[in-house]
Amino acid sequence: EVQLVESGGGLVQPGGSLRLSCVASGFKFTNNWMSWVRQAPGKGLKWVANIKPDETQKFFADSVRGRFTISRDNAKNSLYLQMNNLRAEDTAVYYCARDNGWHTYDFWGQGTLVTVSS
């Protein structure tokens, strides 16, 4: 059974940093692109970033480029999102999702809530 479990969310002040983690199981993590997708309270889904299996390619939405970094540790079946210089508009539930490389997300984690507020 495919499982994706996120952690690391919480309350952070504007300008602060947070690191999200996602542990994968039930599939060959090293073969798959992975994405982070977020959902602001009461709003729709927005893609944040994705990463190729060998980490040679990483892509970001315009709204987070230069502030967020995506990485993975294939030995630990883990995906990460380092979020710096956080803004109020980054407040959202962050989901990690398996990505087929064409932005089809076939499995999702349960999400972790990030709240940016003073």
By the rule CB under 8 A, 88 interacts with another protein: no
Among 61, 74, 79, residue whose Cα is nearest residue 7: 79
Residue with token string 């952690």: 7
Query: β-pairing, 68-73 with 92-99?
Result: unpaired
In three-state secondary structure terms, 34 is strand
Q: Report d(CA 61, CA 39) in Å as an integer.
A: 14
Q: Which of 27, 59, 78, 84 binds another protein (CB under 8 A)?
A: 59
**Across-strand partners of 33?**
99
Q: Which is nearer to another protein, 46 or 67 (CB)?
A: 46
Q: Which of 46, 67, 74, 78 binds another protein (CB under 8 A)?
A: 46
Kindly indicate which of the ranges 14-22, 23-31, 38-46, 73-81 contains the residues binding another protein, using the contact rule CB under 8 A: 38-46
Q: Which of 68, 80, 94, 105 binds another protein (CB under 8 A)?
A: 105
By the rule CB under 8 A, 44 interacts with another protein: yes
